[in-house]
């Protein structure tokens, strides 16, 4: 695949950290990446994954504003919610137990307690009606993990959305971000991880440019089910999923619609010009590298280590080099497409807007649209973080209009 030439007719301006820090919404911490953790928890709130009072309760106990204190206090919050869940479950209070298990899962997750996160999530999932279905898709001798979320307990064929997260999302979080609301709107939702995401790293998988290969295995599984309408099968990707899903759609023509939040047709441009990783790579082995900690906060370091592991990179320079292979030609997207971005993203880098404009013009299908999340509604951040309800409203309203209801299809999940 040749790189799409229009991307290079315009100079992509580099991200301006100073402008971003001046204009970004600060939820709690001056440390950018620690504050992103707060936004990430808020992102899950609408789907029942967190509660504002519990978030602030844990933060208020932090003696120091650093990652160690964060992990300590949110692990404690997880323990407290798990205890509440088990007490309710013993006494037969199904709904209370389910909701507390879900929130415990999220707090364990943000504290890095992966096993407890999965345990509590699956305990809650058994109490959903119909129950969440854990799935492992065989792929190249390994497995792609997911959960199939049915809109209703019968096997009627329904609209189905494959939902893919980003470079640092965790599978279970996707349920709260979009899965639960999708089921309430009459959609089956399949949340799944591609190579390099979440648990796939434990099996030695890394991010790969040819996302159409694992997506083929995912679509094969989804279409093997009796409760999926093959003519109403879509896929959505957030953050780095904005590369994974559109790239896959260039080849996987069984996808009848896609949503990208935001679309990333060129990983090298995104990582080196729009994101600060190009600057980090240039400074990583110089005496100026401590400036990165001052600009972005000390909590950026664990994230950099995570990114290198996900891409299988030796260092940040190698990470940047690997991303030169991540690109696609948006002219090859032949299905209806919705592009989403945030007002703050555009403030941070005009490059985000340029990529969306170029991609929107190039997509070959006439049914295409772009929506920018407004800062005033808290939907202006990356992936519309902190206002998942707005993101879901825009996404599902667009899909509903695309796939008009013919009656008798929708049945809410409890």
134 and 116 in a single domain? The answer is: no
Helical H runs in 149-289?
173-174, 180-184, 212-223, 241-249, 267-269, 277-283
Angle between helices 32-43 and 67-90 (to 10 degrees): 20
Residue 178: helix, strand or coil by DSSP? helix
123 and 203 in a single domain? The answer is: no
Determine, yes or no, domain membership for 54.
yes
251 and 342 in a single domain? The answer is: yes
56 and 135 in a single domain? The answer is: no
Q: Are 271 and 322 in contact (CB under 8 A)?
A: no
363 and 226 in a single domain? The answer is: yes
- Domain limit, last residue, from 93, 127, 161: 127
CATH number of residue 342's parent domain: 3.40.50.1820
pLDDT at position 282 over 70: yes
- Domain limit, last residue, from 127, 143, 171: 127
Q: How many domains does the chain have?
A: 2
Count Cβ atoms below 10 Å from residue 126 Cβ, excluding itself: 12
Q: Hey, what's the torsion of the CAs at 45, 51, 53, 54, to 10 degrees?
A: -120
In tens, the pLDDT along 212-263 reads 999 999 999 999 999 999 999 999 999 999 999 999 999 999 999 999 999 9
Nearest CA to 330 out of 412, 242, 393, 407 is that of: 242
14 and 68 in a single domain? The answer is: no
Nearest CA to 382 out of 303, 279, 270, 291 is that of: 270
9 and 43 in a single domain? The answer is: no
Q: Determine the Cα–Cα distance for residues 21 and 137; give it in Å rounded to an integer.
A: 41
**Residues in the chain, total:** 414
- The per-residue pLDDT for 409 is 45
Determine, yes or no, domain membership for 275.
no
Angle between helices 52-60 and 32-43 (to 10 degrees): 150
Pairing of strands 228-238, 142-149: unpaired
Phi-psi region of 48 (alpha: psi -120 to 50; beta: other; left: phi over 0): left
183 and 246 in a single domain? The answer is: yes
Give every CB contact of residue 293 below 8 A, 6+ residues apart in sequence.
300, 301
Residue 56: helix, strand or coil by DSSP? helix
207 and 330 in a single domain? The answer is: yes
pLDDT at position 136 over 60: yes
Determine, yes or no, domain membership for 78.
yes
What is the percent of the chain where pLDDT is above 90? 68
CATH number of residue 43's parent domain: 1.20.1440
Determine, yes or no, domain membership for 123.
yes
Determine, yes or no, domain membership for 278.
no
Q: Are 264 and 242 in contact (CB under 8 A)?
A: yes
- The per-residue pLDDT for 59 is 94
Determine, yes or no, domain membership for 9.
yes
Give every CB contact of residue 353 below 8 A, 6+ residues apart in sequence.
341, 346
258 and 351 in a single domain? The answer is: yes
In tens, the pLDDT along 148-169 reads 999 999 999 999 999 999 988 8
- Domain limit, last residue, from 68, 97, 127: 127
Determine, yes or no, domain membership for 310.
no
11 and 143 in a single domain? The answer is: yes
Q: Determine the Cα–Cα distance for residues 41 and 48; give it in Å rounded to an integer.
A: 10
63 and 162 in a single domain? The answer is: no
Radius of gyration of the chain (CA): 20
Angle between helices 94-110 and 52-60 (to 10 degrees): 40
- The per-residue pLDDT for 113 is 96
Beta-bridged to residue 144, according to DSSP, are 137
Q: Determine the Cα–Cα distance for residues 172 and 192; give it in Å rounded to an integer.
A: 9
Higher-confidence residue: 248 or 283?
248
What's the pLDDT band for 26 if we cut at 50, 70, 90? low
Which residue range is the domain that position 72 belongs to?
Answer: 31-127
Determine, yes or no, domain membership for 296.
no
């Amino acid at each position: 695949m040749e790189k799409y030439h229009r991307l290079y007719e315009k100079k992509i301006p580099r991200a301006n950290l100073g402008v971003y820090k001046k204009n970004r919404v600060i939820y709690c911490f001056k440390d950018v990446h620690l504050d992103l953790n707060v936004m990430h928890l808020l992102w899950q709130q609408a789907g029942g994954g967190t509660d504002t009072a519990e978030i602030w309760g844990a933060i208020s106990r932090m003696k120091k504003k650093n990652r160690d204190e964060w992990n300590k206090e949110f692990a404690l919050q997880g323990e407290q919610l798990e205890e509440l869940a088990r007490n309710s479950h013993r006494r037969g209070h199904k709904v209370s137990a389910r909701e507390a298990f879900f929130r415990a899962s999220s707090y364990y997750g943000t504290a890095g307690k992966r096993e407890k996160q999965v345990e509590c999530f699956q305990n809650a999932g058994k109490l959903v009606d119909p129950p969440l279905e854990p799935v492992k898709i065989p792929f190249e001798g390994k497995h792609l993990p997911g959960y199939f979320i049915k809109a209703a307990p019968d096997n009627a064929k329904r609209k189905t959305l494959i939902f893919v997260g980003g470079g640092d999302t965790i599978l279970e979080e996707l349920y709260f971000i979009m899965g639960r609301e999708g089921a309430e709107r009459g959609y089956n939702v399949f949340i799944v991880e591609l190579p390099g995401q979440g648990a796939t790293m434990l099996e030695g998988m890394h991010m790969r440019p040819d996302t159409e290969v694992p997506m083929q295995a995912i679509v094969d599984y989804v279409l093997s089910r009796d409760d999926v309408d093959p003519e109403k099968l879509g896929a959505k990707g957030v953050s780095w999923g904005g590369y994974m899903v559109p790239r896959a759609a260039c080849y996987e023509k069984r996808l009848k619609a896609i949503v990208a939040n935001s679309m990333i047709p060129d990983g090298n441009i995104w990582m080196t010009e729009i994101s600060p990783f190009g600057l980090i790579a240039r400074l990583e082995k110089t005496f100026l590298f401590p400036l990165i900690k001052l600009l972005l906060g000390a909590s950026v370091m664990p994230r950099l280590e995570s990114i290198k592991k996900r891409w299988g990179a030796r260092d940040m320079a190698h990470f940047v080099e690997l991303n030169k292979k991540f690109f696609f030609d948006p002219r090859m997207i032949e299905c209806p497409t919705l592009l989403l971005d945030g007002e703050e993203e555009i403030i941070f880098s005009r490059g985000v807007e340029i990529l969306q404009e170029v991609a929107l013009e190039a997509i070959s299908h006439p049914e295409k649209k772009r929506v920018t999340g407004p800062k005033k509604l808290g939907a202006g951040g990356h992936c519309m973080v902190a206002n998942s309800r707005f993101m879901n409203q825009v996404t599902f309203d667009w899909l509903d209009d695309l796939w008009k209801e013919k009656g008798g299809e929708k049945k809410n999940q409890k």
